[in-house]
Amino acid sequence: MIPVLKGKNVVLGVTGSIACYKAVDLASKLTQGGALVDVVMSEDATRFVAPLAFGSITHRAVTTSLFDPDSELSVEHVALADRADILVVAPATANTLAKMSLGLTDNALVATYAATAAPVLVAPAMDGHMWENAAIQENVSRLKHHGVRVVGPDSGYLASGKVGAGRMAAPEVILDYVRAVLGQGGPLAGSRIVVSAGGTREPLDPVRVITNRSSGKMGHALAEAARDMGASVTLVSASETLDAPPALEIVRVETAIEMRDAIEEACQGADALIMAAAVSDYRAAEASSHKLKKTGGPLSLTLVQNPDILASVEGPTVRVGFAAESRDLLENANSKLVSKGLDMIVANDITELGSGFGADTNKAAILTADGEIHQLPVMSKLELAHRVLEQMSNILIAKEE
């Protein structure tokens, strides 16, 4: 379940491109996220993928014609257009983009587009030369001018066998843009939130680093959730493995010092800083510029302490910390809350099953500066992120009053 999608009416327009098969995956991801997905297909799209494929996934009627006696559109041709919280056209062919840009209404999809007041997102898919074509580019510019958001296309291998720009954006990327659009005007609209993620890497020499087991998943989930709640988000990430979440600003860093500099800059005028990153407490006093060699005996390293970013950063109204502990969870978390002067701390016992580094779930307790303790059950990192942000938002509102 993805909170921002829950119960939302998503109209998914599918047009005649080989990328139709990826739209089945998108319909599935939207449905699994909790959205009610009404698929509208152009006639050519039905040559690539049967309407049954979409209906089987969405458990809802699929519209293929303006004159389909089973379709709600035959009763009231603007029914889907009225109901939509968002219209997503993926894949969007050059032909459909042209019709949309000119206001043509000769099939169920473009008629829905013309009649809807909902935000519209298109994911173009076509051959590279078609995408570069001046008339097609003009149509896309006109659509953008009309407020339509355009995701992609990506570059890569195309169905024609050529390589170039024209591949439909990946379903998970389109999904993220849908989340961002649906989240606009949400409870954090107008807020600027800075989130840190991942484990920093402190070089010892050009090959070795001191690091930790943090995956960055919790921090990335927090950034996505804040975006889904309408905030403008800067994610300062030290994660080496996770992709940049779409529709937010990301700054990639490696060391604690780089993270501090990026956070200090991002925190100017920010409403909140959430430090989910596992920052290395120490770094090598001097990293060797050449690879260290075996000596046949023990090796001593001199480490110096890194600055405590959370305790010293100036700017954000609310500061939220994380405490990953292996014992005396609440006591240790509370002493960090107090010593760093935080508004809130999220404590998690990394020895618990389904909790901590690398997992997709987490079991945490939220402690606030005024002594509240919220013990939460095991839940997905995205759900926990929403709980943390709801709590943070209450503190922010109280402090800004």
Q: Counting Cβ atoms within 10 Å, is residue 171 exposed (0-12), middle (13-18) or buried (19+)?
A: buried
Q: How many residues bind ligand C5P (CB under 6 A)?
A: 13
Measured from the CB atom, the residue of 71 and 391 that comes closer to ligand C5P is 391
Question: Which of 10, 322, 329, 344 contacts ligand C5P by CB under 6 A?
Answer: 322
Measured from the CB atom, the residue of 18 and 350 that comes closer to ligand C5P is 350
Measured from the CB atom, the residue of 79 and 257 that comes closer to ligand C5P is 257
48 binds ligand C5P (CB under 6 A): no
Q: Pick from 376, 396, 262, 231: which is nearest to 319 by CA? A: 396
Of 133, 212, 332, 334, which one is the catalytic site residue?
Answer: 212
Q: Which of residues 80-119 bind ligand C5P (CB under 6 A)?
A: none
The 10 Å Cβ neighbour count of residue 314 is 7
Told to judge if 139 belongs to the known catalytic residues of this protein, a careful annotator would answer no
* Piece of the chain touching ligand C5P by CB under 6 A; list 34-42, 85-93, 206-214, 317-325: 317-325
Question: Which of 323, 364, 395, 396 contacts ligand C5P by CB under 6 A?
Answer: 323
Peptide bond preceding 206: is omega within 30 degrees of 0, i.e. cis?
no
321 binds ligand C5P (CB under 6 A): yes
DSSP-derived letter for residue 65 is -
- Closest approach, Cβ 191 to ligand C5P, in A, equals 19
- Closest approach, Cβ 288 to ligand C5P, in A, equals 23
Q: Pick from 126, 50, 124, 48: which is nearest to 90 by CA? A: 124
Measured from the CB atom, the residue of 258 and 308 that comes closer to ligand C5P is 308
165's enclosing H/E stretch is strand 163-167
- Closest approach, Cβ 344 to ligand C5P, in A, equals 10
Q: Residues 240-279: x/- map of binding to ligand C5P (CB under 6 A)?
A: ----------------x------------------x-x-x
Q: Cβ neighbours of residue 287 under 8 Å, at least 6 residues apart?
A: 202, 203, 204, 205
Question: Which of 30, 182, 309, 364 contacts ligand C5P by CB under 6 A?
Answer: 309
333 binds ligand C5P (CB under 6 A): no
CA separation for the pair 35, 29 (Å, rounded):
9
392 binds ligand C5P (CB under 6 A): no
- Closest approach, Cβ 132 to ligand C5P, in A, equals 46
CA separation for the pair 253, 72 (Å, rounded):
51
CA separation for the pair 94, 17 (Å, rounded):
10
CA separation for the pair 385, 1 (Å, rounded):
13
306 binds ligand C5P (CB under 6 A): yes
- Closest approach, Cβ 323 to ligand C5P, in A, equals 6
Distance, first Cα to last Cα, the chain? 33
Task: Report in angstroms the alpha-carbon separations of 25 from 19, 30, 32, 307.
Answer: 11, 9, 10, 45
Task: Tell me the H-state helices in 267-360.
Answer: 309-312, 329-339
Residue 315 dihedral angles phi and psi, to the nearest 5°: 130, -60
Question: Which of 109, 204, 310, 367 contacts ligand C5P by CB under 6 A?
Answer: 310
- Closest approach, Cβ 265 to ligand C5P, in A, equals 15
Instruction: Tell me the catalytic residues.
Output: 212
Contacts to ligand C5P by CB under 6 A: 256, 275, 277, 279, 281, 306, 308-310, 321-323, 336
